[in-house]
Structure 1
Amino acid sequence: MDNIQRNNTEKVLKTTKLNNQTKLQLWLKNNLFKDWKNAILTILTLMFSIYIIFKIGGFLVASEWEVVTENLPLLFMGQFPVEEVWRLWTSILILSALLGASWGVWRGVIGHVAMTIGFILLVFGIVPYTEASSKVYLFTSVALILLFYGIGRFVPKLKIPILVLWILYIPISLGIINGFGIMEPVKSNVWGGFLLTLILASVSIVCSFPLGLLLAVGRRSKLPIIKYSCIIYIELIRGMPLIMVLFIAQLLLPMFLGGVQLDNVVRAMIAFTLFSAAYLAENIRGGLQSIPRGQFEAAQALGLNQAKMMIFIILPQALKAVIPAMVGQFISIFKDTSLVAVIGLSDFLGMGEKIAANPEYLGKYMELYIVIAFIYFIFCYLMSHVSKHIEKSLGVGYR
């Protein structure tokens, strides 16, 4: 009896293996070798891909990466005081806890973000050139992601507190850096590297969205003052390059504030926010115009006033329709932070340029720029990935 069962099992396994091989052969034939033209194109593409892979692999092996490993603190923190670095790590630990708890409560796309961030932290913790104190913080961050994932999974009532903490995360992080008025603040003129890039991008994205939303709704207002004020602002900002807006914020903004002193970083945040809000307003206005007239009439038939109709009926549909455009604008903000170099700030790319200008690393700038480009790619791809999953969950493009 055992022999019969064993023979039957072997037959099933062989049949499954043959079916899988047949499916693979059919896929290759239909997609890569359908006719002689496709076959030639496939072979040429394969040869070119192998050539590129060997070239890239040879470059990665032959390159000297000391320019990166010896300047990691400068790249990621700029000239932030070493004795105050614990403030940055505290913000990262809070972020790790929030990511883990959100992963446990909602799972889905936030889990992909948490795993990606956790993997990056783990890699930096494992590599030998990371300082011992930094390794402790990195491994603690990974442990917090896993710990709070377990807590969030078994305590679903944490949804509201987690949302509140996400809203307050940027103010809390900036408060930690500035000491909450209790400790000596770390002045923004020493902020730099990836830290400055993240702060500028995060504040600009969070602040420009509600402003752009108000501008888009105001442009459709029936009140002439509100409508034409929004139109003038949007068209004026969209008619100027971002560099000009940055210079205006640096040179003219203090004049309009009546002597109130703002440091360069705050002025850059205001410039990015105002610039991005104008483009977001047009994206959202496009979404509002895509809503059929029947939706407005149905909301009015239900007895909803203008505010309730806009908040509960129109805006949810309009925002859902323009998710790709808005996320594209957010990605542009993140990348355009590199333009702050023209006003004397050293963001991620700017700090890389300063390191590359050091005679000690003459001719080794390519390795540095590859790492910077890779970090930019990871975070831009994360935003794009989150956008796709949000669209999928909301059924955008599906009927």
Structure 2
Amino acid sequence: MSDQQAQSVAFVRDTMLPQEAPPASQTGPVKWVRDNLFPDVFNAVLTLIALFFIYKILAGFLPWLMGGLWTTASLAECREILDGATGGCFSVLTERWNQLLFGFKYPPDQYWRPTLAFVMLFVAAAPLLFAMYVPSKVLYFTALYPFIAFWLIWGGTIVVPLVALLGFIVGYMAFKKVEAASFAGALGAAIVSAAVVWFVGGFLSDAMSGVLALPEVPSRDMGGFMLNFILGVVCVSLSLPIGILLALGRQSDMPIIKWICVVFIEFIRGVPLITLLFVANVVLAYFLPPGTTFDLILRVIIMITMFSSAYIAEVIRGGLAALPKGQYEAADSLGLDYAQSMRLIIMPQALKISIPGIVNVAVGLFKDTTLVSVISMFDLVGMIRGPILASTEWNGVYWELWGFAILMFFPVCYGISQYSQWLERKLATDHR
């Protein structure tokens, strides 16, 4: 080959080769299985063992589920039809679903009321949980929802929740009017103004007892999962702001406020919740004047809220302690007072740090609402252990009822957990 011919040969390709698909072993399900289930010998053995246990569980569970009966009138009839075959007696759910959800005393023709309140809860909670996606005007409905839900669930005249709402509005207006002069004075003015409105409104509600009235349902007639849900939502909603105040009070420079918060937190955290529930049920009545009636659900809400507030306070205190000192100094350098620095700089960062701990307390609190069954309140667990299993028709049914309880509690607790993880990702600012 001459030099001229050698120089005319191109050693660099000037056209692109057509793109080829990656090997089947390096993409799709095959790659996922190899990387996650069989990356090495040890993990492959663990995967095979786990698959064996899953197979054994499903081999026993699926025939029991698929072969179950839903239309029998008693456990004896169910066993007679099965005649030794594998299958669950799910007829207890079709027969007693209303008691499991609403208790055995809530009027059946009024089930629409707590159901409507449950549906409205999602609308009311939307601007609080997904503020970036929901119009801010929905917050007006959120502020009205507690009074609407109370009227729907407990019934009575609508004047009662309207008077309660008016008391909060008047108290807020009094607070804003005096706030510039003194925070303590503004708080006192708000409390006095609201108390006056409620005192006068009490006579007004008695005089207008028939105005837009729903049939009254006393607290003793409420039960089932509805009771667990009411306690969980109300106590979690109340314990968060109270926990924030306790955490700030524990770090206060004023000795009286600091020690009141310290004693409250340490005492409540050192006492089992079941003890506080017994106090709410029995002991609290001894401290009230003779003949005074104090709603049992309200007493339980107070005790559970106190219990969870103490734990949330410690979680938030950990978030406050995790902030660098420079954040406090930055707030001081901007000329912000204590309330402004906490609201605008310190507390948003502390709450973001505290999200996992707050969610942990909220999930635990929702599950702990089942403890009210020990003080003769017929929540979901109380209904299962009491009227249903005590009946001659369904004495001996366990897996079906407790499986239903799992199906009620798990979605709520899992949903709270997933929302917290989504919120952490939305609030992430470190770009890790």
Structure 2 CA distance, aligned partners of 1:250 and 1:80? 21
- SS in structure 2 at match of 1:360: coil
Instruction: Give runs of aligned pairs for residues 318-337 of structure 1, distance below 5 A.
Output: 318-337=350-369
Residue of structure 1 equivalent to 2:389: 356
Local SS of the residue matching 2:115: helix
| Aligned position for 1:131 | none
Q: Which residue of 2 aligns with 1:235?
A: 266
1:321 touches 1:396 (CA, 8 Å); kept in 2? no
Aligned partner of residue 221 in structure 1, secondary structure: coil
What amino acid does structure 1 have at the position aligned with 2:309?
A
Matched, 1:75 2:106: no
Give yes or no for the alignment of 1:51 onto 2:56. Answer: yes
Q: Within 2, Cα distance between the matches of 1:70 and 1:362?
A: 14
User: Does residue 218 in structure 1 map to residue 249 in structure 2?
Assistant: yes
Residue equivalent to 2:240:
209
SS in structure 1 at match of 2:393: helix
Distance 2:289 2:429 in 1: 47
The residue that corresponds to 1:160 in the other structure is 136
**Aligned CA distance change for structure 1 residues 280 and 52 (closer, same or farther; 3 Å):** same
| Equivalent residue in structure 2 for 1:249, among 272, 280, 284 | 280
CA distance in 2, matches of 1:193, 1:56: 26
Q: C-alpha displacement at 1:247, in angstroms?
A: 1.4
Q: CA deviation at 1:43?
A: 2.3
For residues 165 and 68 of structure 1, what CA distance do their matches in structure 2 show?
35
Change (3 A) 1:103 1:331: closer
Instruction: Give 1:41's match in structure 2, choosing from 39, 42, 46.
Output: 46
Structure 2 residue aligned with 1:91: 117
Cα deviation for residue 81 of structure 1 reads 0.8
Gaps of 5+ in 2: 1-17, 67-86, 158-212
Equivalent residue number for residue 34 of structure 2: 29
Aligned-partner Cα distance in 1 for 2:119–2:136: 20
Partner of 2:82: none
SS in 1 for 2:136: helix
1:41 CA displacement: 2.7
Alpha-carbon RMSD across the aligned residues, in angstroms, is: 2.5
3-state DSSP class of the match of 2:153?
A: helix
Aligned counterparts of 2:282 and 2:429: Cα–Cα separation in 1: 43
Task: Indicate the SS of the match to 2:216.
Answer: coil
Decide whether the 8 Å contact of 2:127 with 2:139 is kept in 1: no
Q: How far is 1:179 from its partner?
A: 2.5
Q: Is the 8 A contact 1:178 1:186 kept in 2?
A: yes
Cα gap change, 1:299/1:381 in structure 2, threshold over 3 Å: closer, same or farther? same
Taking a change above 3 Å as real, the CA distance of residues 212 and 38 of structure 1, as seen in their structure-2 partners, is closer
Residue type of the partner of 2:111? Answer: V
Structure 1, residues 222-276: CA drift from partner, whole Å, max 9, x if none? Answer: 0010000100111111110001111112233344454542121111111111111
One-letter code of the match for 1:196? L
Q: TM-score, normalised by structure 2?
A: 0.72
| Conserved? CA contact 1:195–1:347, under 8 Å | yes
Distance change >3 Å, CA 380–CA 233, structure 1 → 2? same
The percent identity for this pair of structures is: 38
Whose RCO is larger (CA < 8 A, sep 6+)?
1
Which deviations, in whole Å up to 9, do the C-alpha atoms of 1:330-350 show, x marking residues without a partner?
Answer: 111111011111111011111
Match of 1:279 among 305, 311, 319: 311
Cα deviation, residue 306, structure 1: 1.3
Larger C-alpha radius of gyration, 1 or 2? 2
Structure with the higher fraction of residues in helix conformation: 1
2:426 is aligned, of 388, 393, 399, to 393
Judging changes above 3 Å, is the alpha-carbon distance between structure 1 residues 364 and 397 closer, same or farther for their aligned structure 2 residues? farther
Find the counterpart in structure 1 of residue 411 from structure 2.
378
Does structure 2 retain, via aligned residues, the 8 Å contact 1:194–1:347? yes
How far has the Cα of 1:96 moved from its partner?
Answer: 5.7
SS, match of residue 63 in structure 1: coil
Residue in structure 1 matched with residue 402 of structure 2 by the alignment: 369
Give TM-score scaled by structure 1 length. 0.78
Distance 1:162 1:226 in 2: 36
Distance (Å, rounded) in 2 between the aligned partners of 1:369 and 1:211 = 34
Sort the Cα spacing of 1:306 and 1:95 in 2 relative to 1 into closer, same or farther, 3 A.
closer
Residues 363 and 413 of structure 2 are in contact (CA less than 8 Å); yes or no, is this contact kept in structure 1?
A: yes
CA separation of 1:34 and 1:209: change in aligned 2, threshold 3 A? closer
Give the Cα separation in 1 of the matches to 2:45 and 2:118: 51
Is the 8 Å Cα contact of residues 196 and 347 (structure 1) preserved in structure 2? Answer: yes
Structure 1 residues 39 and 376: CA distance shift in structure 2, 3 A: same
SS of residue matched to 1:29:
helix
**8 Å contact from structure 2 (residues 359, 420) kept in 1:** yes
Partner of 1:316: 348
Q: Name the structure 2 match of 1:291.
A: 323
Shift of 1:38: 3.1
List gaps (5 residues or longer) in structure 1. Answer: 1-10, 108-155
| Contact 2:380–2:405 (CA under 8 A) maintained in structure 1 | yes
